[in-house]
Amino acid sequence: MSITDLIPWKRNKNVSVNKSRSFHSSLQNEVNRLFDNFGRNWDVDFPFNKEESSVFYPDINLSENENECVVTAELPGMDEKDVNVVLKSGGLTIKGEKKSGSEEKKQNGYIYSERTYGSFYRQIPLPEEIDPDSVEAKFKNGVLTITLPKTEKAKAGRKKIDIKAE
């Protein structure tokens, strides 16, 4: 394939193409699409202050043992009333909104005020069957801890596989 194969009016010499309008508008649409989608769905922290952005992305840890799964979410500056936890089949959803603000009165009657808002939504797939009636959530010092006990069926269905060296 040569570079000329990419140019629409060079592909088929029998077809009349409005070179200026269709090619440029389709090129412009493609460039716009690339810029619109650039960086979407990246799980990366960009070099800006998280506190200044409108999106809050809390750190979450998931640990598991034979009896339970434990989800820990770091939510600094938040209270338990700002967080909503829902257990659905297939996963745990944690969502909330962080609000903070400060106000400083200056000389000559000026007021300096700053407000920060950020919402988050995290969905965590769960590895085993969970007993929904025994789930507990605790919030202390900005840390949300959710304990998800496994069902008896999930506990019994586990078998350790021995590894043999050859």
Query: What are 144's two structure tokens?
Result: 């949300």
Cβ atoms of 88 and 82 closer than 8 Å: no
59-78: buried (b, 16+ CB within 10 Å) or exposed (e) per residue? ebebeeeeebbebebebeeb
Q: What is the DSSP string of 29-46?
A: HHHHHHHHHTTTT-----
pLDDT of residue 112: 76
CA dihedral 87, 89, 91, 94 (to 10 degrees): -30
Q: What is the pTM of this model?
A: 0.56
Give average pLDDT by consecutive 10-residue segment, the chain, 166 residues.
62 53 71 73 49 65 90 89 88 86 78 78 82 92 93 78 90
pLDDT at 53: 46
Sign of the torsion angle spanned by Cα atoms 130, 132, 134, 139: positive
The structure tokens listed for 109 are 């009657």
**Which residue ranges form the domains of the chain, and what is each CATH number?**
3-37 (no CATH), 50-156 (2.60.40.790)
Q: What is the Cα Rg of the chain in Å?
A: 27
Q: How are strands ordered across the β-sheet holding 60-64? A: 60-64, 68-74, 143-149, 136-140
The pLDDT score that the predictor gives to residue 91 is 87
